[in-house]
Amino acid sequence: MSEPLVIVGNGMAAARLVDELTKAAQGRYAIAVIGDEPRLAYNRVLLSSVLAGETASHDIELKPATWWRDRGVTLKYGCVATEIDVGRRELKIAGEESISFSRLVLATGSTPLRLNVSGADLAGVHTFRDSRDVDLLLTLAAQKKRVVVVGGGLLGLEAAYGLAKAGSPVTLIHLMDRLMERQLDAPAAELLKSLVERKGIRVLLNANTARLLGETRVEGIELVDGRRIEADAVIFAAGIRPNVALAKDAGIPVNRGIVVDDVMQTAAPDIFALGECAEHRGICYGLVEPAYEQGRVLARYLAGGAAAYQGSVVATNLKVSGVSVFSAGDFMGADGCEAIVLSDVRHGTYKKLVISDGRLTGAVLVGDVGDALWYLELIRNREPVARIRPDMMFGRSLSIRPEAA
């Protein structure tokens, strides 16, 4: 008989896990997925494209309903899991009967942070995480509402671009002295800023939010240095917090995320976590590729095979905004590293390759990102690059000539 395996969360990590697991061990588990969003799992990464009007919301589903049905998966969406009874191996679901599991996987993702300032709860203050948020933001943009986006990371930039493209006057404010400081060095960030400003987005750096203005609805934002920006809506895109409450309340150890070992198992036997809610070797990843790698490992383990997750080398791509940006590995270059830099700001191109011990360890690309995946492969495989070094900056086709290959 199939063992009952329950997954909490119907997001990207859960969908990948089901895909891998049903390939590796078809029929071994009776899988149930409990998700609180009211739709089939979709590609969250593409929400930015939906907001920018480049993709339709119904086109971002990861798998059609028939795919889930064909694999015998019980899908419960619009359902919130509220409590794990570790001893009885039961999961409570709001408004429904508890369900039993022999194995449980937490794939609960993250929640966007709201700044801890006065006014953060006013009407007109939103976040950018799911398709309901996107519907709301598109309504704002259609009404040409003036929007302030708080946060100049990947998410904030994508929100700002989408809203601007959909018709809103947008100001993007960022606490730090450069955009995407966790992925870009100063020259790359400066170039990105100028490219974003050309799209009509006003960018304010070193902008520390003091409070949001307004009585019941937000009317603007005041910065610590006294500057005020009028706004009809404010979007927080200033970080995420892993959803750990279910695990924590059940007595399962959590730090920032739910602590897991190399097979994604928590301290409670047969209870696993993966994706943004999980913390592996002290790291909570906020990206989809690590979640997919974790899904592969966990599926192999649950299918009875040997597997171990060793952590991920992360890469970031800015997808929308008409500006291509890629960053991976140690892009700043620690002491003792060398950097090869090509900067053609007038033409909107900047490339930096960081080399350490004869290997590529990091890369930043703005403008021309055609070779991004090749650089990422070199970083991940830790291949020696001495032979291709003179041409490496100019991309794969020029570097891997027959005599050099």
- Which residues would be at the binding site for ligand FAD (CB under 6 A)? 8-14, 34-37, 44-45, 47-48, 80-81, 107-109, 128-129, 155, 158, 243, 246, 275-276, 286-289, 291, 317, 319
Q: How far is the CB of 236 from ligand FAD (least distance, A)?
A: 12
> Tokens in use for 84?
């794990």
Q: How far is the CB of 71 from ligand FAD (least distance, A)?
A: 18
Nearer to ligand FAD, 213 or 244 (CB): 244
Q: Output DSSP code: residue 384.
A: B
Nearer to ligand FAD, 364 or 388 (CB): 364
Instruction: Count the neighbouring beta carbons within 10 Å of the beta carbon of residue 19.
Output: 18
Nearer to ligand FAD, 127 or 209 (CB): 127
Nearer to ligand FAD, 49 or 361 (CB): 49
Query: Which one-letter amino acid corresponds to residue 205?
Result: L
Instruction: Count the neighbouring beta carbons within 10 Å of the beta carbon of residue 185.
Output: 21
Q: How far is the CB of 319 from ligand FAD (least distance, A)?
A: 5
DSSP-derived 3-state class of residue 65: helix
Give the whole-angstrom CA distance, residue 50 versus residue 12: 17
> Tokens in use for 254?
């959590």
Q: How far is the CB of 363 from ligand FAD (least distance, A)?
A: 16
CA angle 328, 208, 317 (to 5 degrees): 20
Main-chain phi, psi angles of 156, to 5 degrees:
-65, -40
Nearer to ligand FAD, 209 or 321 (CB): 321
Do 170 and 147 meet the contact criterion of CB atoms below 8 Å apart?
A: yes
Q: How far is the CB of 233 from ligand FAD (least distance, A)?
A: 17
Q: How far is the CB of 264 from ligand FAD (least distance, A)?
A: 12
Nearest residue by C-beta to ligand FAD? 11
Nearer to ligand FAD, 152 or 214 (CB): 152
Please give the helix or strand (H or E) that residue 194 lies within, else none.
helix 186-198
